[in-house]
Amino acid sequence: MEIAKVVKKVVSTVKNHVFEGYSMLLVQPLSMDFKACGSEVLCIDLVGAGQDEIVMIMKEGSGVNDLMGLKEAPSDAAIVGIVDHIVINDKKIFDKSSSEKA
């Protein structure tokens, strides 16, 4: 699992039937100092994340299939959580309620 920031909503008028009812979001993986880390990733949103939110993503196709309750979904990444806060070594480095790094 990784942390990432939602950067864009992806709209598709035609998509695989297993994605019906789910939003598709483009996220930017982040390092623990909140700098961009790697390429943006297209994710199925399983939790209702919004623009600019810090989220937890899973980039394992079989794990995404398990979460969706399917044997085979044509996806390899999903948003599985919205981050409220991050604490490292007893120091809060992120707090969603303040919308900025602590």
Q: Judging by beta carbons within 10 Å of its beta carbon (0-12, 13-18, 19+), is residue 6 exposed, middle or buried?
A: buried
User: Does the pLDDT at position 33 exceed 50?
Assistant: yes
What average pLDDT score do residues 43-53 get? Answer: 93
DSSP 71: S
Neighbour tally for 17: CB within 10 Å:
6
User: For the segment 73-101, what is each residue's pLDDT rounded down to a tens digit?
Assistant: 667 889 999 999 999 999 999 999 886 55
Q: Measuring CA to CA, which residue among 53, 60, 55, 50 is closest to residue 81?
A: 55
What is the set of domains in the chain, with CATH numbers?
2-101 (2.40.50.220)
Question: Could you tell me the end-to-end alpha-carbon distance of the chain, in angstroms, rounded to an integer?
Answer: 22
CB 83 within 8 A of CB 56: yes
